[in-house]
Amino acid sequence: MAKTTKKPRLAVGIDRGGTRTRIVLMDGRGSELKRVVHPTSHLKHLPDLIIRTVSEWRLEPHVPVVIATRGAMTKKWKKPFLLKKLKDRVNLLDVISDAQAAYLAAHGSGSGILLIAGTGSVVFLKRPGGSFEKIGGHGHAGGDPGSGLWIGTRFLKKIKTDKKRLDRRARAAYAAKAVRKAENGHPIAVKIIREAHEHLSDLLTAAVEACLGQHPGPLRVALAGGLMQNVFFRKRFIALARSRLLAAPALFPGGASLVFITLKRPAEHAAAELAMGTFYAGNKNT
């Protein structure tokens, strides 16, 4: 009798952020097999990009997919739109917020706070009952306070560059230049980055207040997003946040403290692992 070979377990995770869209193929051991990265475009183009990618990777129709996209929590039409466009084309299991995927990448099933400072800025936390809550991330035209778009827009205005000809991505890209100049002591950039850190600290303070009494012991705060990948920006933010938060004993009863962490894995990996766990748990013979 011929021995049957069990097919490898595969899953696709997609992280559609403000600047880039990342698509990965993972196996059952948690290894990344394939990856593509594209500039983020309008959501209407995402289904074609996914269909083209899975076709190029020659994936079987059953391979599960989870999409994490910006705006999934506030713009409820995005999930049904993607489910409809991808029906019978890929095995799309769920559409979640990119912030939710980043939270899973940082804390898994545990509790804590996620602060994202990239093109936008937002804080994400999970309530004891399992529901997720968002603070900030309103998508202001000039950028969420403290975000890359906010920094870039203000920096361009201060150096008197015509920002009207630049789209959101181009303006947000100037944040990296502002951070470099602040690190070198440029007075205008220093002031802008300081204000950005204050706005982000306000977001974190609101999240800590929302968590009062829910997390005994150290409160884990995961920092994510392009700005937080810059060592100078991250260290200056942590120093300011600690000084402001720990100066308010009411926020940390019983001697609790803050512990700042980074993501344990990329958000697109967390999306793929969610797809893997959801699909194969109910398909033990696949």
The model's pLDDT over 10-64, given as tens digits with 9 standing for 90+, comes to 999 999 987 889 999 999 999 999 999 999 999 999 999 999 999 999 999 999 9
- Which amino acid, residue 208? V
Architecture of domain 10-102+265-281: 2-Layer Sandwich (3.30)
Strand-by-strand arrangement of the 113-117 sheet: 132-136, 121-126, 113-117, 219-224, 258-261
> Longest Cα pair distance anywhere in the chain, in angstroms?
77
Return the CATH number of 109-261, one of 3.40.50.12280, 3.30.70.2470, 3.30.420.40, 3.40.50.2300: 3.30.420.40
**Which sign, positive or negative, has the C-alpha torsion 195, 196, 202, 205?**
negative
Angle between helices 98-107 and 267-281 (to 10 degrees): 90
Taking the C-alpha atoms of residue 180 and residue 19, their distance in angstroms, rounded to an integer, is: 19
- pTM for this one? 0.81
For the chain, domain boundaries: 10-102+265-281, 109-261
Domain 10-102+265-281 identical in fold to domain 109-261 = yes
Amino acid 162: pLDDT: 67
**Nearest C-alpha neighbor of 154 from the set 138, 177, 135:** 177
Give tens-digit pLDDT for 193-247.
999 999 999 999 888 888 776 656 678 899 998 899 999 999 999 999 988 877 7
φ, ψ of residue 20 to 5 degrees: the values are: -130, 150
